[in-house]
Amino acid sequence: MASKNKKLNLKDKYQYLTRDMAWEPTYEKHEDIYPDESFEGIKILNWDQWEDPFRLTMDTYWKYQAEKEKKLYAIFDAFAQNNGQQNITDARYVNALKLFLSGISPVEYAAYQGYARVGRQFSGAGARVACQMQAIDELRHAQTQQHAMSHYNKHFNGLHDASYQHDRVWFLSVPKSFFDDARSAGPFEFLTAISFSFEYVLTNLLFVPFMSGAAYNGDMATVTFGFSAQSDEARHMTLGLEVIKFILEQHEDNVPIIQKWVDKWFWRGFRLLSLVGMMMDYMLPNKVMSWAEAWEMYYEQSGGALFKDLERYGIRPPKYQDVANAAKNHSSHQTWATFYQYSQATNFHTWMPQEDEMAWLSEKYPETFDKYYRDRFEHWDKEQKKGNRFYNNTLPQLCQVCQIPNIMTEKDDPTVFSHRQVKHEGERYHFCSDGCCDIFKNEPEKYIQAWLPVHQIYQGNCGGADVATVVEKYYHIVPGVDNMEYLGSPDHQRWLDIKGLKPLSTSRQKKTAA
């Protein structure tokens, strides 16, 4: 045997230390060990052609991740010990965290479960190991987010029961159904949905705005966990692109299947990100960039380069990309308007933008804000000052697929609500768009199962017949404390106390809190 040891290069070392541990079974049938690998119709001729993204062996993984965690928890401790929550720009900002903890952290956990599962399902050991590493990373994110927000939860309302609410609250069915959809699909669709469409194409639009927003608003804990999590994300994004290229290179029959999934998951992701758009444009006291600017930078520019690269495989940009691009100037305003009206049923506060914020919106959305949205917002603001803070007590109709209320408008006419319907086995189903309607038509037997919160309330499955009971008893949202108007809320009062400021005139408070 050789006596001289030489340093392995990364690729060879990784090959020896991962895939080479696998073997082709002879005592059990391949398909009994990997029963979920074929039903989606994806053809894999040779798993050996899998390119490992980031060849981290476990020892290196433990070393680097422990280093990241050490830094992160040192900052969490310092943040809590110094009452860092007092250094944020304004307590309105905390509502972005409430949205994050109830909308995003639970899906990090769902991603963990999904990757753990596909980390067993594939017969290619390289792919399995990559998925397992992402699984444990996603667990990390779900857990560090609990810890990052833990201190905020002690000082502000609305953060206290996020995972519980994620299973129940009406608008949280938007992210929940998105991940349920991916997890209930086969392993290849799961990777196309989460690794490629979500992580690679859209994740920058989720994390970078949230984390830059935190940095602009003095939130040290969130900036730190966010960027620390994003350093895992760079590995996940690389996996996302490798997955797609690998599947496409394996067999030409895979191309139309992947295209259909890219279309579907782009559209679902785009709808899900409406919540982020509203957060950026309306919930950050100090703004980073507008949603439209973020969309241009991270989708139109980066996504454009990506889909140009994928042309050679016969993949075209996602269907209805044009509708999504046009919506960048509208969706955040429409979404905020909806949450403002239904704030009696959310786990966070809403408010009307102040004058300087309206001016910023006009500047960032010169074609749309003044023309379509300003009047309504000024009217609501005026009514609120008169003591008539507007709450909408009718329940909205939800899209059968994305589960967002049908509040979005037509691409060519922002004064007309976009609404589609389909009859399936005698039942009529409603959709927000052609994108969602197409998704339904491709798999109606899946989407008829959707747990639509508004239907469920009407059917009496949410602990009561009226919204107030549902919100309090079934959602665990404390009315007037966790939700409704920000001005005059306990969070607002507390913030004024912290800053040594006087509360607003009591008459306004009473009415707004009522």
Partner 1 sequence: MSVEIKTTSVEPIRNTYSAIARRFGDKPATRYQEASFDLAATTNFHYRPLWDPKRTLNDPTRTALRMEDWYAVTDPRQFFYGAYVGNRAKMQEAAESSFAFCDKRNLLTRLPEETQKQLLRLLVPFRHVALGANMNNSKIAGDSTATTVSQMHMFAATDHLGMGQYLSRIALLLDGSTGTALDESKTYWMDDELWQPLRKLVEGILVVDDWFEITLVQNVLLDGLMYPLVYDRMDAWFGEQGAEDISMLTEFQRDWYKESLRWTNAMIKTVVAESGRNREQVQSWVKNWEPMVYEALKPIAQATTGLDALDELRAELSVRLKKAGLESTGVQA
Partner 2 sequence: MSQKVFMAFQDNDNARYLVEAIVTDNPEAEVQHSPAMIRITAEKRLVINRETMEETLGRDWEVQEMLLEVISIGGNVDEDDDHFIVSWN
- Binding residues vs partner 2 (CB under 8 A): 9-11, 53-56, 60, 64, 67-68, 203-204, 207-208, 211-212, 215-216, 223, 227, 230-231, 233-235, 237-238, 241, 245, 288, 301-302, 304-306, 308-309, 312
Cβ neighbours, 10 Å, residue 46: 10
Residues 86-145 within binding reach of partner 1 (CB under 8 A): 86, 106, 109-110, 112-121, 125, 128-129, 132-133, 135-136, 139-140, 142-144
The Cα–Cα gap between 435 and 43 comes to: 27
Q: Does residue 245 belong to the site contacting partner 1 (CB under 8 A)?
A: no
Q: Does residue 479 belong to the site contacting partner 1 (CB under 8 A)?
A: no
The binding track of 307-346 with respect to partner 1, each residue x by CB under 8 A or -, is: ----------------------------------------
Looking at the Cβ atoms of 142 and 208, the one nearer to partner 1 is 142
The Cα–Cα gap between 379 and 390 comes to: 10
CB of 128 to partner 1, least distance (A): 7
CB of 69 to partner 1, least distance (A): 4
The Cα–Cα gap between 22 and 48 comes to: 11
CB of 99 to partner 2, least distance (A): 19
Are the beta carbons of 146 and 183 closer than 8 angstroms? no
The Cα–Cα gap between 331 and 320 comes to: 15
By CB under 8 A, the count of residues binding partner 1 is 104
Task: List b or e across 275-285, with b for residues whose CB sees 16 or more CB atoms inside 10 angstroms.
Answer: bbbbbbbbbbb
Residue from the set 44, 127, 130, 162 that interacts with partner 1 by CB under 8 A: 162
Are the beta carbons of 18 and 62 closer than 8 angstroms? no
CB of 230 to partner 2, least distance (A): 4
Tell me the two tokens of residue 351.
Answer: 């408010």
Residue 494 interface partner, choices partner 1, partner 2, none, CB cut-off 5-8 Å depending on type: partner 1
The Cα–Cα gap between 33 and 125 comes to: 13
Helix axes 58-81, 125-155, angle to 10 degrees: 10
Residue 306 interface partner, choices partner 1, partner 2, none, CB cut-off 5-8 Å depending on type: partner 2
Tell me, rounded to whole angstroms, the distance of Cα 404 from its chain centroid: 13
CB of 4 to partner 2, least distance (A): 19
Are the beta carbons of 376 and 407 closer than 8 angstroms? no
Check residue 362 and give left, alpha or beta (phi > 0: left; psi -120 to 50: alpha).
alpha
CA-CA distances (angstroms) from residue 82 to 76, 78, 87, 151?
Answer: 10, 6, 10, 11
CB of 21 to partner 2, least distance (A): 21
Residue 5 interface partner, choices partner 1, partner 2, none, CB cut-off 5-8 Å depending on type: partner 1
Residue 10 interface partner, choices partner 1, partner 2, none, CB cut-off 5-8 Å depending on type: partner 2
The Cα–Cα gap between 315 and 256 comes to: 8
The binding track of 401-440 with respect to partner 1, each residue x by CB under 8 A or -, is: ----------------------------------------
Looking at the Cβ atoms of 231 and 393, the one nearer to partner 1 is 231
Residues 280-299 within binding reach of partner 1 (CB under 8 A): none
Residue from the set 42, 44, 50, 72 that interacts with partner 1 by CB under 8 A: 72
The Cα–Cα gap between 112 and 267 comes to: 23
Q: Does residue 251 belong to the site contacting partner 1 (CB under 8 A)?
A: no
Q: Does residue 474 belong to the site contacting partner 1 (CB under 8 A)?
A: no
Residue 415 interface partner, choices partner 1, partner 2, none, CB cut-off 5-8 Å depending on type: none
Looking at the Cβ atoms of 191 and 288, the one nearer to partner 2 is 288
CA-CA distances (angstroms) from residue 481 to 400, 486, 498, 512?
Answer: 31, 9, 18, 12
Tell me the two tokens of residue 395.
Answer: 């329940």
Tell me the two tokens of residue 185.
Answer: 């699909």
Residues 182-211 within binding reach of partner 1 (CB under 8 A): 183-187
Q: Does residue 442 belong to the site contacting partner 1 (CB under 8 A)?
A: no
CB of 497 to partner 2, least distance (A): 28
Nearest 5°: CA angle at 456, between 451 and 461? 115
Looking at the Cβ atoms of 193 and 310, the one nearer to partner 2 is 310
Contacts of 272 (CB under 8 A, 6+ apart): 174, 175, 178, 402
CB of 244 to partner 1, least distance (A): 20
Residue from the set 41, 46, 87, 164 that interacts with partner 1 by CB under 8 A: 164
CB of 215 to partner 1, least distance (A): 22
DSSP 141-179: HHHHHHHHHHHHHHHSSS-TTHHHHHTT-GGGHHHHHHH
Contacts of 200 (CB under 8 A, 6+ apart): 237, 240, 241, 244, 306
Q: Does residue 66 belong to the site contacting partner 1 (CB under 8 A)?
A: yes
Residue from the set 11, 20, 379, 393 that interacts with partner 1 by CB under 8 A: 20
Residue 508 interface partner, choices partner 2, partner 1, none, CB cut-off 5-8 Å depending on type: none
Residue 417 interface partner, choices partner 2, partner 1, none, CB cut-off 5-8 Å depending on type: none
Looking at the Cβ atoms of 106 and 213, the one nearer to partner 2 is 213
The Cα–Cα gap between 324 and 292 comes to: 11
